[in-house]
Amino acid sequence: MSIDMNSLEPKLLWKHFLALSAIPRGSKNEEAVSRHVADEGKRLGLPVKQDSVGNVLITKPATRGKESAPTTILQGHLDMVCEKNSDVAHDFTKDPIRLVRDGDFIRASGTTLGADNGIGCAAALAVLESTDLSHGPLECLFTIDEETGLTGAFHLSADFLRGTRMLNLDTEEEGAVYIGCAGGMDSIATTRATLVAPGPGKKAFRVKVIGLRGGHSGVDIHEGRANALKFLGRVLRQTLTPFGLEVAALDGGSKRNAIPREAFAVVTMDPAKAGDLAKALAVLTGELRAEYGKIEPGISIEVEPFAQAPAKVFSGTDARRVASFLHASLHGMLAMSPDIPNLVQTSTNLAIIETAGETVTVSMSHRSSVDSAKKDVGHMIAAHCELAGFTVVQGDGYPGWAPNVHSPLLQQAKEVHARVFGKVPEVKAIHAGLECGIIGEKYPGLDVISFGPTIQNAHSPTEQVSIPSVAGFWKYLSAMLAAA
């Protein structure tokens, strides 16, 4: 269904979201969207500055009578996660996101939507353009590369901002105010496989694990969604020997912060066994659907002919070793918080596998709201890699955001929410990573909360944003600015 943007409220926010959606803005490809945001500030006659990495800051003076109010920072990130299913034709470096209305939701046509964090950025732009809001002095900070490295936040200089309180607009649940988030780190594991010639008479095929839901590796990790890479390892361990499969290449997943939905293995085999393999995979598909039930109803494991015959394949020993590594890898929720109800404390995401000749690379990400637990998961991953003959490189990661239940801004947020909506908001911490902890470290004493509309299935092609919740989000943001 096409979208009549004039039917959506608030019109100014949706106008800016539509404009952002037309600009390719995958992580590390934010030059055009940074320029667009800066140009919007200049069009409005507002002071604009941009730092060396591409962060944009636009300031707006207070409205009449609010000149003595504290300066409030509105903050969001310009980049989006670029995910699509393998059968969708879309080039994230040049194609606009195609928006679709589906009842009370806006989604994209076969790709991620970019409501994370396009809605937050659109809201800040709408505030800058609005002439009917009451607010104190404002600084609107648009950061780059949040999704793949938090680069903008890490490179923010200590003199870039002057505000004393910050509204981060990057969480995804209407009626909730967030005051803390997990920290995270990445592990990159590599191994070399011995390459040999394929067996005589064997033909190339591709084994496909498809149809999984995927999702955000922080927000959705507690739901027990399936991991395509682990399934691929399971499939290969069950079929390598019985069907005489030889592995030429493995690939799956695309983002370290997204649960992988699809995974593929290019194999060679006796073509006479292809029919029996297809039957075995159909049985395994049925078993997995029974195991995962309503969580993953679309699971499908298939085999199809592959046009390009590989010149080399992994040795049998290395094929089984890599398959076993995937099958046995840690993935999912590892611990719940003993202090905050319903909060995942520690998790890990088996995210990406790539093959380049003899080199196999596996990328993983780990999160925890407890720094020592985050490091311990890294140690477990390293131990698993060592046992499987992989070399692992790990970064220091990024810090969490420690909750401050005594925050004056939080108290104001509760009072405003109760006045506007007739009830206090839920006060929560989130297992996903936010820029708040990094920015807070650079500006000691900065009072920070985070809120946003309802966004479902972020980091996957089923991402969607609730239209009514965007209206509520705008109403709350406007009231928070007026109350400063």
Catalytic residue numbers, as ranges: 79, 146
Cβ atoms of residues 225 and 213 within 8 Å = yes
Cβ atoms of residues 20 and 13 within 8 Å = no
The pairs formed by 401-407 with CB atoms below 8 angstroms and a separation of 24 or more are 401/179, 401/180, 401/181, 401/429, 401/434, 401/436, 401/437, 401/440, 401/448, 402/180, 402/437, 403/179, 403/180, 403/340, 403/429, 404/179, 404/447, 405/179, 407/179, 407/447, 407/448, 407/449
Residue 197 burial by CB count (10 A; 0-12/13-18/19+): exposed, middle or buried? Answer: exposed
User: Nearest Cα to 381, choosing from 349, 333, 337?
Assistant: 349
Tokens of 231: 């399934």
Task: Find residue 189's DSSP bridge partners.
Answer: 362, 392
Handedness of CA 420, 422, 426, 427 (dihedral sign): positive
Cβ atoms of residues 351 and 415 within 8 Å = no
How many angstroms separate the first and last alpha carbons of the chain? 40
Tokens of 27: 């992580």
Rounded to whole angstroms, the maximal C-alpha distance in the chain is: 84
Say which residue the tokens 């965007």 belong to.
Answer: 470
Helix (H) or strand (E) holding 17: helix 11-21
Cβ atoms of residues 212 and 299 within 8 Å = yes
Q: What is d(CA 382, CA 390) in angstroms, rounded to the nearest whole number?
A: 9
Q: How many residues does the chain have?
A: 484
DSSP line for 313-346: EE-HHHHHHHHHHHHH---EEEEE-SSSTT-EEE
Q: What is d(CA 82, CA 147) in angstroms, rounded to the nearest whole number?
A: 10
User: Nearest Cα to 359, choosing from 328, 409, 318?
Assistant: 318
